[in-house]
Structure 1
Amino acid sequence: MSVILHLSDTHFGTEQPPVMAALLQLAQEIRPDIAILSGDVTQRARAAQFDSARSFLDQLAASVKLVIPGNHDIPLFNIFARIFNPYGNYRRVFGQVLAPQFSNQDVQVIGVNTTRPWRHADGEVSRQQIESVSQKLQSASPNQLRIVVVHQPVYVERESDKENLLHGHQKAIAAWAAAGADLILSGHIHLAYIRNLQEKFQDVTRPFWIVSAGTAVSKRVREKKPNSVNLIRYDSALRSCIVERMDFDAASSRFIIAENKLLKLS
């Protein structure tokens, strides 16, 4: 059994200490094999905010940690940095790789950098990125859980969120489903949901799930939804996947199970 902790949109600079403490406690209790942070690590891409994020992640009890940038991780007001060194602070803290990957006998994780310095909030996935991810997916072993991580969503529930959809998402969904992807992890809109893309897109002919995370520790919650993260439990022998959405409960100062879903995999 492999356990993956999926968090997103920490927005350091707007973090809440009680929620951070609860998340560290959850990780200490669960001891996930992998922690994945799907972008918007910081609120304004400032050096001190990245330092706070790194300090927090260093305390997070997970054997492997993968982080991709979000649109907030590129300077907004520092125009010079946005043009000439958009990932400077990110790379100083997390290294040069903007699209980290990980693979073991149970899990394949492929990060995709969907940010673009010339866009404000929108994300984009290029044809080259789609093809590169597809090739990697096709190299996975039959028993691996195949995960693609993006920041902006490839599917949204609400009409008002359609402007947040990843540019190129339809081509990406079709290609990655055909290449064998099981899950897409995303964030950006601070709303948590789990949906089977086979039921939403005609080009998808096999189970293929989007798992969206809310904001993990930031005060920037939406629709009065609590802070949330996802726990993904995968049994490679059965190719069985359970996703638990964990919401922060202010009364107990803990993350508790709010949704438990068994995902059908191909």
Structure 2
Amino acid sequence: MTVLLQISDTHFGTERPLVVAALLRLADALSPDLVVLSGDITQRARRRQFASARAFVDALGATPTLVIPGNHDIPLFDPLARLCYPYANHQRAFGADLEPAFESPGLLVLGVNTTRPYRHKDGEVSMQQVRRVAARLEAASAASAAQLRVVVTHQPVAVTRAQDEKNLLHGRERAVQRWARAGADLILGGHIHLPYVLPLHDTFAGLARRMWAVQAGTALSRRTRGTIDNSVNVIRHATPADDGARTTTVERWDYSETSEAFEMIVRHDLALDGARPAIAVTSPG
């Protein structure tokens, strides 16, 4: 069993200390193979906010992490920094690579930097990025049929509500179609602080295979949305069954004000290959 913990939109500078402590306890209990931070790590891209984010990642111990920037991780009120060195503080905290990758026998995760200094909030994926990711996916698909293959963007490729359409990733149509043909299973995102799982094969006409959008809420920030408290995703990928079908479970864990701990709210059982029903959704209790 491979376990991935998706944390998004931490917005350090607005983090809630009790939630930070609870999330570290959850990570310790899960012992995930990888922690993904899918953008908006900080509130205003300030050095001290990135230092707090780095301290949080360091508290995860030896757990591997994959971190991509979000639009909040580029300076907003410093035009010179935004134009000339937009990622300086991010790279000081998390290294030079803005599009990191992680690979193990059970998992391939590819980060895509969808931020653009010339855009305020909107994200964009270029044709060069689409091709780069597709080439890596195709190589992995040829090497291992069992691996879970994941792409991480900050802005969503699909939404559930009309009011969120303005936040959709520019260039998503060609990216989703190309990455599906190359063998992607999941596209992880954040940005809108709204957790959900969406079948992209039902959203994009003619998609080559089953592929899912997995969106995370805000993990640590007081900037929660509506009635949803702080939230993270836990993704579990099992070895293929006897019939070769691959199954993955996406669990949404929300912070409980009562228990001061993260608790599982809903589980989505996804059949990645076409032989089985595509999805089953269950709630604990």
Aligned to 1:36: 36
- Deviation for aligned residue 1:62: 5.8
Q: One-letter code of the match for 2:187? A: I
Counterpart-to-counterpart distance in 2, 1:246 and 1:61? 21
Provide structure 2 residue ranges, at least 5 long, that are not aligned to the other structure. 274-285
Counterpart-to-counterpart distance in 1, 2:83 and 2:61? 36
Aligned to 1:123: 123
User: What SS does the corresponding residue of 1:146 show, helix, strand or coil?
Assistant: strand
Aligned to 1:215: 218
Aligned to 1:196: 199
Q: One-letter code of the match for 1:17? A: P
Counterpart-to-counterpart distance in 1, 2:237 and 2:219? 22
Counterpart-to-counterpart distance in 2, 1:253 and 1:195? 29
Counterpart-to-counterpart distance in 1, 2:181 and 2:25? 38
- Deviation for aligned residue 1:237: 3.1
- Deviation for aligned residue 1:63: 2.2
- Deviation for aligned residue 1:61: 5.0
* Residue-by-residue CA offset, 1:19-50 (whole Å, 9 max, x unaligned): 11110010111111100000000000000000
Aligned to 1:71: 71
Of 135, 148, 151, the match for 1:145: 148
Counterpart-to-counterpart distance in 1, 2:54 and 2:123? 24
Provide structure 1 residue ranges, at least 5 long, that are not aligned to the other structure. none
Counterpart-to-counterpart distance in 2, 1:61 and 1:189? 29
- Deviation for aligned residue 1:203: 2.7
Please tell me whether residue 156 in structure 1 is matched to residue 159 in structure 2. yes
Contact kept? 2:177, 2:208, Cα under 8 Å: no
How many residues in Structure 1 have an aligned counterpart in Structure 2? 266
Contact kept? 1:45, 1:90, Cα under 8 Å: yes
Aligned to 2:265: 258
Aligned to 1:167: 170
Please tell me whether residue 244 in structure 1 is matched to residue 251 in structure 2. yes
User: What SS does the corresponding residue of 2:169 show, helix, strand or coil?
Assistant: coil
- Deviation for aligned residue 1:223: 1.2
Aligned to 1:90: 90
Counterpart-to-counterpart distance in 2, 1:83 and 1:108? 33
Contact kept? 1:24, 1:61, Cα under 8 Å: no
TM-score, scaled relative to structure 2: 0.92
- Deviation for aligned residue 1:64: 0.9
How large is the Cα RMSD of the aligned pairs?
0.9
User: What SS does the corresponding residue of 2:255 show, helix, strand or coil?
Assistant: strand
Counterpart-to-counterpart distance in 2, 1:223 and 1:207? 30
Counterpart-to-counterpart distance in 2, 1:62 and 1:198? 36
TM-score, scaled relative to structure 1: 0.98
Q: One-letter code of the match for 1:256? A: E
Contact kept? 1:194, 1:212, Cα under 8 Å: yes
- Deviation for aligned residue 1:251: 0.3
User: What SS does the corresponding residue of 1:20 show, helix, strand or coil?
Assistant: helix
User: What SS does the corresponding residue of 2:210 show, helix, strand or coil?
Assistant: coil
Contact kept? 1:123, 1:152, Cα under 8 Å: yes
Counterpart-to-counterpart distance in 2, 1:109 and 1:171? 19
Q: One-letter code of the match for 2:259? A: S
- Deviation for aligned residue 1:199: 1.1
Between the aligned residues of both structures, percent identity stands at: 54
